[in-house]
Structure 1
């Protein structure tokens, strides 16, 4: 089965003609004409760094993901390990998408593999095998076996079952308490059809900023498992409260896939769960999906991202917090995914934010608060994780359902609003420029 690249919905022409001459850029040469932008386009300057931002700034930004991976390994030593490339993966597991029936039969007949399950991604027209190598297979031996699979079926896709992690942190200290009146919101209070999706950890629907949200959950066998990161991201997407907190798409309808199921016995954040989330959101015909997660360029997840783009989903993801000289992180760096960096209250890029030609937009990512899970308060947040949902919400206001043709228009409209920052024109630090500056809410703004 060969990789398929579809045209980019006329986006290249639209971008080059719609923006002023100073903002026009050359889009990268992609097979088949490429896809949505992935990062090209506009940019410009607010208040001092607060003590909150200084407090949350990472001591060593280059070890951001490494520290998170260490935490997950300590929690799930029986399920997770580092592979030969030092990436976090499920022990011995391989995801296989053979190119033909014959290739599939050959894989299943190989010694030393156990078929764990076959996953069918309804809505994306994909199906793959999840395999597990014999107990005791070393990371080096597993790498060699994956290389063998790829060599014998170069048209197929074979990769580790990678684990993806979040790209931001929230303090556990409540900086402001909500004193909203009225009933606490639950799922299903439909307030309109402005829709947006997210793939993250669980959402605390009981938080006052989310009480007006029509929330549809998926994952964790139907169980609600609220978590700090997912709740903060959800509030920045659709939150709205009487005390002055608002997200980018206030009171929008949220479709939330929990890929971590925190508090459960199983490790989360794997490629398979993310893929199932994208397939579900494609079936729900959501137009914009926020994925505030980062990881390596997994071959199977890339196939899923491309299939979701073919169905009209516009994906938004953070560039990550591994530092300005780090390699690009995914899904943000794949063609067509809207990659978002974060800026502080002075409109300066976060020191830990990734950089590169894939950066599309900058948005507030520090000196701000978001909903705190498990209570009524708001916590300080920092990281590109929290910039991405602001961009996703702004795009979702223009793209309520999946529509390939309308995606380019939504992107172009937001690009025209961007404030140029840094060097004139599009650059690898701020992308097209800053959007959503007015959406930054700090503790002093709450009443």
Structure 2
């Protein structure tokens, strides 16, 4: 094939599969029959190495102002999370402090709570208690004087990126037109997720290939298996529950815990421990349906995660803000996902900004609930697994080892929404791609 024509790109991967993305106006032929395959959907084929498939993508469309206004009252509530003020009280974190640093900070009333060796990332982090009565901002100012040049920050807290129930919904496969995929779709893929706990006894997850690890402070209980169960079921749940890649292996990391006030919180330390664990598992993509503020130490750890070949996909958050990016989604080396209702309307409480990369369904997704059963839920959390699935397939094929590669490739298989080109609401647009597993 002449690459200069940029008509169609076929990527043969180690899954015994082909990814087919439309890059231009010419389609060769349809892999699935018209009755099985929704119109205007490009395919990611993970089961048929000898097949080539393509279909013309729709021309770019633009959401009108009236459409945006009509959607303002749609189901789901804006998160009240405040990233500026969300951090563990009475402690800070330091990245790679120099030898003998404890002798320098101890006279000022600081003491070490925990040494964390992120071995795969190649970073040592120290959790330090602040002096009694000293605020975290004041403690950071004091430490910056005592330890000049050391990267430090608060132990920021994060939230999951769900925002409430919806009044009606379809399972994840049906919502995106992935209904007819095989029960083994995703075989050979290894996924990671950083979230809350996972109820592996749920019918959606029972018998699936999942390994689970909790990362909590000493003396605290792991966070409950609520949000993490829903996301895990979306990623690798059984076909009956609409799992996107039920044949895949999932490494599920719980970064949330119950604090002394009985609240569910996720900390920067837990997040970094989870990233380091997944970096040892050779996962093809990591789903991060979480959101919080920027953190200098986490930023350093994520930069090292990029060097460790982790492909990271994160939710843009549900704060309804355009002035405050959500992290980790806003890091340059993380692909950021927003949520839509259907394929055209933006979820009204999704964050906006230059960091938004892609849009996927996230309103009224029928998700699994811990303890059994399920309900429709809404949030950018539930849009993220669609892009994680695409990312894993492409990375396994060896074509998207970095976030930049993934953006470049998936941007050729989107429906442009909002302003022409990449914008701060939809990013490159709604991704019109799916696995085509027999």
Please state if 1:302 is matched with 2:299: yes
Q: CA deviation at 1:421?
A: 1.0
Q: Identify if the C-alpha distance between structure 1 residues 406 and 225 changes in structure 2 by more than 3 Å, giving closer, same or farther.
A: closer
Measured against aligned partners, the alpha-carbon deviations of 1:255-311 in whole angstroms (never above 9, x if no partner) come to 000112469968541111110000000011112111111111111111111111110
Measured against aligned partners, the alpha-carbon deviations of 1:285-343 in whole angstroms (never above 9, x if no partner) come to 11211111111111111111111111000111111111143311111111111011111
1:218 equivalent in structure 2: 213
Question: Residues 212-251 of structure 1: matches in 2 within 5 Å?
Answer: 212-219=207-214, 227-242=225-240, 245-251=241-247
Please state if 1:258 is matched with 2:263: no
Please state if 1:166 is matched with 2:160: yes
Distance 1:118 1:154 in 2: 20
Residue from 122, 126, 132 that aligns with 1:125? 122
2:325 equivalent in structure 1: 328
SS of match in other structure, 2:92:
strand
Distance 1:218 1:43 in 2: 43
Please state if 1:290 is matched with 2:309: no
Q: Identify if the C-alpha distance between structure 1 residues 92 and 406 changes in structure 2 by more than 3 Å, giving closer, same or farther.
A: closer
Unaligned runs of at least 5 residues, structure 1 = 1-17, 22-41, 67-84, 178-188, 440-447
TM-score scaled to structure 1, two decimals? 0.71
Residue from 358, 361, 376 that aligns with 2:358? 361
Q: Identify if the C-alpha distance between structure 1 residues 174 and 220 changes in structure 2 by more than 3 Å, giving closer, same or farther.
A: farther
1:75 equivalent in structure 2: none
SS of match in other structure, 2:274:
helix
2:96/2:123 contact within 8 Å kept: no
1:56 equivalent in structure 2: 75
2:190 equivalent in structure 1: 195
SS of match in other structure, 1:65:
coil
Distance 2:259 2:169 in 1: 25
1:395/1:411 contact within 8 Å kept: no
Residue from 428, 431, 437 that aligns with 1:435? 431
Measured against aligned partners, the alpha-carbon deviations of 1:21-59 in whole angstroms (never above 9, x if no partner) come to 9xxxxxxxxxxxxxxxxxxxx96489x99xx9967322x
Distance 1:384 1:219 in 2: 23
Q: Identify if the C-alpha distance between structure 1 residues 88 and 237 changes in structure 2 by more than 3 Å, giving closer, same or farther.
A: same
Distance 2:102 2:280 in 1: 30
Higher strand proportion (structure 1 or 2): 2
Question: Residues 28-427 of structure 1: matches in 2 within 5 Å?
Answer: 44=61, 56-58=75-77, 61=78, 64-66=80-82, 87-98=85-96, 100-101=98-99, 104-105=101-102, 107-137=104-134, 139=135, 142-171=136-165, 192-219=187-214, 227-242=225-240, 245-261=241-257, 268-345=265-342, 347-375=344-372, 377-400=373-396, 405=401, 409-427=405-423
Distance 2:166 2:363 in 1: 15
Q: CA deviation at 1:210?
A: 2.0
Q: CA deviation at 1:397?
A: 1.9
Distance 2:73 2:369 in 1: 20
Distance 2:60 2:202 in 1: 34
Q: CA deviation at 1:133?
A: 1.3
Distance 1:204 1:53 in 2: 34
2:197/2:214 contact within 8 Å kept: no
SS of match in other structure, 1:150:
helix
Q: Identify if the C-alpha distance between structure 1 residues 319 and 434 changes in structure 2 by more than 3 Å, giving closer, same or farther.
A: same
1:370/1:378 contact within 8 Å kept: yes
Distance 2:391 2:297 in 1: 26
Distance 1:431 1:380 in 2: 25
Q: CA deviation at 1:201?
A: 0.4
Q: CA deviation at 1:122?
A: 1.5
Q: CA deviation at 1:405?
A: 4.1
SS of match in other structure, 2:204:
helix
2:34 equivalent in structure 1: none
Q: Identify if the C-alpha distance between structure 1 residues 174 and 339 changes in structure 2 by more than 3 Å, giving closer, same or farther.
A: closer
Please identify, of 397-406 and 230-239, the stretch whose mean Cα deviation from structure 2 is larger. Answer: 397-406
SS of match in other structure, 1:398:
helix
**CA RMSD across the alignment:** 3.7
Distance 1:263 1:373 in 2: 20
Q: Identify if the C-alpha distance between structure 1 residues 395 and 317 changes in structure 2 by more than 3 Å, giving closer, same or farther.
A: same
